[in-house]
Amino acid sequence: MVGVGFLLSAAAEPDADIETTLVHASSAGMDDNDLRVLAILTTWLGVHSARVNTERLARAVAEHSSPRVRAYWSAVCTWLGDDKRFARIVAPIAGERIDLLAVGTEFQVNRRGEDPRFESTCLRVPAGTLRDRAKDVLAPAVLAERHRGYRNRIQMGATWRADIWTALEAEPGMPVAECARRVRCSFAAAWKAAQDFLLLEEARRTAS
């Protein structure tokens, strides 16, 4: 989690997979009741959502077995609904709303109201339960300096191409099929980006 900009006391994994890390953090919060991690995750999304590859995130959420994790991401999709990319992550969850807290949600909501980020979502979160502090996550400029994949998404958009480019920068001689497997994209997407990557590499060698 530290590798994608969570300010926690742990070693950072260089260029950690962003979407896998986000889903792992949501599981820690929703299934293991680690509200500190869930609070930082929610703050992170408020700051960095434009850099999320929502197709990768949708796959990671779909592969997770926890209904509570899917409920969190459904609520996030409602909260971040102005970005239409998030509508594809998980379908809205109908029926009775899910309480974040195992006990005391009703009392806390009556006392303090709801977290405005989750009002009108499938998840009921009492105000103040998930603190929202920008200083708990790295700022975009700092994360871009430290995380190659995040930096490439700023340059190219939160796309498969940016992720393919990141993989090729880390290992320039990687076969296209292996690149597609690691990035989890189509072979065609990896092949097209790899051709452009090789073209620029050749141009740099010629210029030097």
In this structure, are 72 and 159 located in the same domain?
no
State the pLDDT at residue 14. Answer: 80
State the pLDDT at residue 91. Answer: 73
In this structure, are 125 and 149 located in the same domain?
no
Residue 149 lies in a domain: yes
In this structure, are 99 and 183 located in the same domain?
no
In this structure, are 116 and 22 located in the same domain?
yes
In this structure, are 52 and 68 located in the same domain?
yes
Strand ranges in the chain using DSSP code E only, listed in sequence order? 98-99, 123-124
Question: What SS3 class is residue 16?
Answer: coil
Residues 6+ apart with CB under 8 A from 88: 54, 55, 58
In this structure, are 18 and 112 located in the same domain?
yes
In this structure, are 122 and 199 located in the same domain?
no
State the pLDDT at residue 175. Answer: 95
Nearest CA-CA partner of 74 in 49, 96, 94: 94
28: its two tokens: 């820690």
In this structure, are 69 and 153 located in the same domain?
no
Contact 153, 105 (CB under 8 A): no
State the pLDDT at residue 99. Answer: 94
Look up the domain containing 31 and give its range: 2-136
% of the chain with per-residue pLDDT over 70:
100
Over residues 126-158, the pLDDT tens digits come to 999 999 999 999 999 999 999 999 999 999 999
In this structure, are 132 and 187 located in the same domain?
no
In total, how many domains does the chain have?
A: 2
* Average pLDDT per consecutive 10 residues, the chain (208 residues; last block may be shorter): 84 86 96 95 97 94 92 94 86 83 91 94 94 94 95 96 95 94 94 92 82
Question: How many Å is the Cα radius of gyration of the chain?
Answer: 19
Residue 208 lies in a domain: no
